[in-house]
Amino acid sequence: MDVVGTPRNRVEGVDKVTGAAKYAGDLDIPGTLEARVLRSTHAHARLRSIDVSAALAVPGVEAVLTREDLRDMDPYYGNCLRDRPIVAMERVRHVGEPVAAVAAHGALAAEEAVARIEVEYEELPSVTSLDEALADGAPVLHERAAGSGDFHDVNLSDAREHPNICHHEHIELGDADRGFAQSDEVFEDVFLFPMVCHYSMEPHTTTALVQGRQVTLWSASAHPFLIRSELAKLFGLSMTDVQVVVPYVGGAFGGKSYLKIEPLVVALARKTPGQPVRLQHSVTESMLTARRHSARCHIKTGVKRDGTILAREVKMYLDTGAYADNGPRVVARAVLRVHGAYRCANFRSDSYGIYTNSVPAGSMRSIGGPQSIWPVEAQMDRIAEALGLDPLQYRLRHLLGRDEAIRPNSRGVDGDLREGLNRVAEMVRQAGAPAAGSGTGFAVGITDSEANPVSTAIVRLLNDGDVVVMAGSTEVGQGARTVLSQIVAEELCVPFERVMLRGTDTHTTPFDRSTGASRSTTVMGTAVKFAAADVHRQVKAIAAAQFGVDPERVVLKAGAAWCGEARRDFSEVVSGYFGMPGGELIGRGYVRAGGGISPILPIFWEVGIGGAVVAVDRDTGELAVERYTSVADVGRAINPRQAEGQDEGAAVMAMGHTLFESLVYADGQPLNPNLVDYRVPGFRDIPRTFESCLLENGDGPGPYGAKGMGEGGIIPVAPAICNALAQATGVRIHELPLTPERVWRALRKTNGETA
């Protein structure tokens, strides 16, 4: 079969473009009540009292949820640290935090009831910057020691150097002090990365139905099995009591990972037994629910006069907001990702997650990657410039080689970084010399995939020859259903059109750890490949018995078993086995560390390499990306068209935080949590020439040599553009985004003018 490696139309494409696809908010569940949430207007305050009597008097209101309804349980949850309450208990810690929630017949009644809830606050001092949070005597956001979640996957320590440090990671390789002592030149820089919102096209949406001990959830979530487990623990249920159904999801990018609004909706639905409750966020509410970590990175690199890197020391401070969310895991990834893609035997890195009175920060496409790779790549250019070296050749000389490991007992780089960078450089050169006044910049990023390698899958061959795949990877727009169907079609030798994969239902779909970390094709793809291979073996054995030959003589192709010229359709094989026009064959696929996937971590390295050509209007500071070229090392592209789309989408997303995206706070208040004041990339922001190239060497651990991609494309964009800006103007800016005002002021400062 030639299904793998060829472009195939998305299996859900027609439904999506015609509007037939159903998302969580489209589901018409009879008797559904609409929920609305009262949110804090204070960054930090003690809750003195909550009066809901007027809200309960609104016609159509069925229930109002407050902290008083949670006194019978531990109301705190979180995948890393259980520090986030379902609704505020004794105090609020950020603007937008849920204080109460209403369920009513109709949105208007719910909104009116929310407006009638009376809350008395005692305002407290707040901290909305890293410096404020770490200052001596700063207000402490969390006095109580939070328990760890079931899926934290990091070594959580109770010891904190400062009460507002949520988590600290430290790595030391070699002897950094000796490396600096031997260096001829030492370069030190500080880089600032902004708060960024996910902005999925579909805001957070969940419907919950509570019937006795049975909880059913319809949720736009990327982690249904983790939600099932956490909700069961939170509400004192067994996992069989909790059913999570995931229809199509309108984008996630990490913003729908783990628990977000699900506990609140279930808690509210407990007060309306037998009646479903639906909470649909507005865009603003989603922006006040989750975001990417802003960061300050102090990076120090020592080199010889010929540019040889002898030592690197990094201190990374990540603003995790009011609650941990996935912050500890982001911290754990950032601490190594700032090593970069270059040889550096002496490396010391500390990464800190800091509590502040702002929106909680968690997973977002390549966790900790953009905040880490930008400082490394920007400083590589600065070092090359100071030493009179060509920045491209400087990179090529120091890049890690294939199978070269950053630290002991870990997987070496499973790709050819030099080949990728040379490919980018050649594509940029083929476009001709940049116009006068423009500049060219390059960047290389590698990130260690945190993908936990646990996935299970079932493949069912029906008696008519159709194939049903049961796999828990969530379709969040990345094309997982299509790719997994291609793998099964290839392995089972059936036409692609005869394979069907539906959404996830935790009552019937086998377990998958999660959808994220670019793991679906590699880890779940391996599981479905194993399950399809299991069915393949069964069909061959049954067909061989029917032909009266050894299984080795049977060949499967085009949905049939062949023995020489003799042919039996799969439907004949299955029906013949069961002796009736019914029955089905079932294949199972299990993947775990050391079982189908190597136990050596990371599972794979995700590579992103970019080249940018930019032009700058020196009078206004406006920066135009004339050309952007991206190379994604994918191992093997199961569906090349989808892979290119993923890489291009990641690059465009990165242009947002590079050029204009930033959630801004002043005195604890978010100033732009809406799509009027917070701008995301549009078609006009796409570079005039935009190219994506897939590097396929079959060197990944996934099916047919595939490895994860879709996040790598986001990491080289900011450094490539910043490096191009520096080449064009001589100005190196250490704070993103590169707004026209910021660029204009930097240009004037360089020219000795008053901004």
Q: How far is CA 278 from CA 66, 117, 345, 509, 667, in A?
A: 17, 20, 54, 23, 33
Can you give the pLDDT at residue 151? 63
Ranges of each domain in the chain: 18-126+201-251+256-287, 294-450+602-750, 452-597
pLDDT, tens digit, 9 for 90 and up, residues 301-350: 999 999 999 999 999 999 999 999 999 999 999 999 999 999 999 999 99
Q: Identify the architecture of domain 452-597 in CATH.
A: 2-Layer Sandwich (3.30)
What DSSP line would sit under 289-344, residue for residue? T-BBPEEEEEEEEEE-TT--EEEEEEEEEEEEETS-TTHHHHHHHHHHHTT-SB--
Q: Tell me, what's the pLDDT at 755?
A: 55
> What number does CATH give the domain 294-450+602-750?
3.30.365.10
Asked which of 86-95, 395-404, 426-435, 558-567 is least confident by mean pLDDT, the reply is 426-435
The helix or strand, by DSSP H or E, that contains position 646, with its residue range, turns out to be helix 640-659
Degrees to nearest 5, angle at CA 400 with 397 and 406: 140
Task: Tell me which architecture the domain covering 18-126+201-251+256-287 has in CATH.
Answer: Alpha-Beta Complex (3.90)
Banded pLDDT at 147 (limits 50, 70, 90): confident
Give whole-number Cα distances, 388 to 179, 385, 602, in Å: 22, 5, 36
How much is the pLDDT for 739? 96
Q: pLDDT by residue (tens digit) across 44-68?
A: 999 999 999 999 999 999 999 999 9
Residue 309: both structure tokens together: 């890197």
212-257 tens-digit pLDDT: 999 999 999 999 999 999 999 999 999 999 999 999 999 999 999 9
> Are the beta carbons of 219 and 184 closer than 8 angstroms?
no
Q: How far is it, in rounded angstroms, from Cα 314 to Cα 404?
A: 22
Q: Cβ(649)–Cβ(681) under 8 Å? A: no
Lowest mean pLDDT among 303-307, 597-601, 742-746: 597-601
Q: Which whole number is the average pLDDT over 485-493?
A: 95
Residue pair 440/627 in contact (Cβ under 8 Å)? The answer is no
- Please give the model's pTM, rounded to 2 decimal places: 0.94
Instruction: Give mean pLDDT, residues 387-396.
Output: 97
CATH topology match: 294-450+602-750 vs 452-597: yes
Q: What CA–CA distances, in Å, run from 346 to 262, 391, 398, 659? A: 45, 22, 14, 34
**CA–CA gap between residue 455 and residue 525 (Å, rounded):** 9
Residue 508 sits at φ, ψ, to 5 deg, of -125, -25
**H or E stretch including 421?**
helix 417-430
